[in-house]
Amino acid sequence: INTGSCNGCDIEVLAIQSPRYSVERFGVLRVGSPRHADILVVTGPVTKRMTDPLTSIYDQIPHPKAVVAVGSCPTSNGIFDGGYSLTGPLDTVLPVDVYVMGCPPRPLNIVAGILKAAKMLDSKRKGKGGRSSERFDEAMAKETDVELKFQSSDNVTEAEK
């Protein structure tokens, strides 16, 4: 959810769903309703106008749940710090589980943050006697290291293009 950002982080969050990063291979899907979500990804500083809708959306997510703060703005208000319309950083409104720093953060860092939150949720479910998703366990078995490697287009030679 965008709580008042410049949309830089939102573009990077959308990029992780592209075939280049393919976050769906880990079982990460966008859903249309917070009632179907496990993880809330928040970008931007929390404005006074978005405080109530943000807490309402957070309350609709079933337990266990996690919050991922993407970018510098939800952590410290970023370049908007001191603005009259801000409530404050995200952790003054909601409990934050994972911080992904950067302005805007790289897509791989966002993927790593979401996977870290997913691992936290998985351990919470197992701790409560719940059962983790087989799809998630499969994806984590294939990708044991969260550090994902992609070839940068900057390093591609003319012959490879």
**pLDDT of amino acid 152:** 45
Residue 44: phi and psi, rounded to 5, are 90, 160
pLDDT of amino acid 6: 87
pLDDT of residue 137: 59
pLDDT tens string, the chain, 161 residues long: the values are: 888 888 888 899 889 988 888 888 888 888 889 999 999 999 989 999 999 999 999 999 998 899 999 998 898 888 888 888 888 889 899 999 999 998 889 999 999 999 999 998 888 887 765 455 555 556 555 554 445 544 444 454 555 54
Helix (H, G, I), strand (E, B) or coil at 80: helix
pLDDT at 3: 86
pLDDT of residue 133: 57
CB 70 within 8 Å of CB 28: no
Beta bridge partners of 70: 43, 100
pTM of structure = 0.76
| Tokens of residue 48, six digits | 């006074």
**pLDDT computed for residue 116 by the predictor:** 92
For β-strands 66-70 and 46-47, DSSP reports them as unpaired
pLDDT computed for residue 136 by the predictor: 55
- Strands 39-43, 66-70: pairing is parallel
